[in-house]
Amino acid sequence: MHELIPDDKIRKFYTGEVVIREGDPTDYIYLIRSGTAKVITQYETDNESVITLLGKGESFGELGIILHRERLATVIAVTDLELEAIDPDEFNTLFETEIGRKLRPVFQSMAERIRVGGIKLSQLGYSIVFDSDDDQSAFEEIRLIANSDLALKALQGIEMVRITKFPFKVGRYSDKKSDSLFHKNDLYLYEDKPHKISLSQFSIIKTEENYYFLDRNGGIGNVVNGKKVGGFEGTVRKVQLKKGENLIHIGKEHYNIVFKLII
């Protein structure tokens, strides 16, 4: 068991101890004050793999918070290790100053790049078209329509939303202040616990010729026109949308959070 020293934000682990374990819930980000740690995936299995070694001044644990997922790897103390535990809520104090408010969108943009980093723009086949509020005539009318009671509830009773900018990012609303640092959406969906919608769920992307649905790596996944997209092992992260009606299930189909996307 690791040692807690008087400041409960400082934690000590001894050589060979597991600091965090793959699959566990994500809580703190850790900054290494002294010692060395190794990052391992599939710990204690035939496919165990050491990803990297970390030393003084380096951090780990932030990906689970940015992606809003369980721990993605196991971290083990290679030597005696002293860590500082950082609560994500503490980040808010960094962004309350004038310069902090200016940096907030930069931080949000970096987090979004990490979430969708597994999809290379070149894989989409064309250059992505970005925000187009000033020239809506360039696009077909895109409508997101609630197609189940839970979807209507998520939209707070609004049956239809028009999409007029791209990428158009959709995710769950949270009143936790630190979540706004890592997750920014164009459309917020509302949901009671237990949550089935990720803080960053999906994006609608426009290229020169096509529209795409992109999973934002929230870990929950989606079903689009009967095809699993993201969140499910061995599936794709993006799928081309068709002209006309597209059916989107957030999470698994039996969750019954269903939208129609009309192009």
Mind listing the pLDDT tens digit for each residue in 218-247?
678 899 999 999 886 667 888 999 999 999
Q: Which residues pair with 206 in a beta bridge?
A: 129, 211
Question: Which pLDDT score, from 0 to 100, does residue 120 have?
Answer: 52
Three-state helix/strand/coil letters over 111-162 = HHHHHHCCCCHHHHCCCEECCCHHHHHHCCCEEEEECCHHHHHHCCCCCEEE
Which has the higher per-residue pLDDT, 180 or 11? 11
Establish if 97 belongs to a structural domain.
Answer: no
Mean pLDDT of 153-170: 92
Domain co-membership, 225 together with 116: yes
Domain co-membership, 54 together with 118: no
Domain co-membership, 108 together with 195: yes
pLDDT band per the 50, 70, 90 thresholds, residue 135: very low
SS3 call for 106: helix
Domain co-membership, 115 together with 212: yes
Q: What is the CATH number of the domain that holds 124?
A: 2.60.200.20
Establish if 26 belongs to a structural domain.
Answer: yes
- CA 174-176-180 angle, 5° bins: 75
The reported pTM is: 0.65
Domain co-membership, 249 together with 211: yes
Backbone angles phi, psi at 128, to 5 degrees: -75, 140
For the chain, the domain total comes to 2
- The half-sphere exposure of 92 on its side-chain side, counting CA atoms within 13 A, is 9
Domain co-membership, 63 together with 176: no
What is the spatial distance between Cα 198 and Cα 182, in angstroms, rounded to a whole number?
12
> Of 53, 86, 119, which residue constitutes the final position of a domain?
86
What is the spatial distance between Cα 159 and Cα 210, in angstroms, rounded to a whole number?
25
> Of 86, 115, 143, which residue constitutes the final position of a domain?
86
Establish if 67 belongs to a structural domain.
Answer: yes
> Of 62, 86, 110, which residue constitutes the final position of a domain?
86
Q: CA dist 74 to 39, 186, 245, 256, 257, Å?
A: 6, 34, 43, 34, 33
Q: Identity (one letter) of the amino acid at 26?
A: T
Domain co-membership, 79 together with 108: no
Question: Which pLDDT score, from 0 to 100, does residue 73 have?
Answer: 86
DSSP state of 205: E
What is the spatial distance between Cα 156 and Cα 154, in angstroms, rounded to a whole number?
5
Establish if 8 belongs to a structural domain.
Answer: yes
Establish if 93 belongs to a structural domain.
Answer: no
pLDDT of residue 212 exceeding 80, the answer is: yes
Residue-number span of the structural domain to which 58 is assigned:
3-86
DSSP state of 221: -
SS3 call for 214: strand
Q: In this structure, what is the dihedral angle of CA atoms 255, 112, 233, 192, given to the nearest 10 degrees?
A: -20
Q: What is the CATH number of the domain that holds 11?
A: 2.60.120.10
Establish if 140 belongs to a structural domain.
Answer: yes
Over residues 94-117, the pLDDT tens digits come to 777 777 777 778 777 777 776 666
Average pLDDT, the chain: 83
* Longest Cα–Cα distance in the chain: 62
Q: CA dist 191 to 145, 198, 210, Å?
A: 17, 10, 31
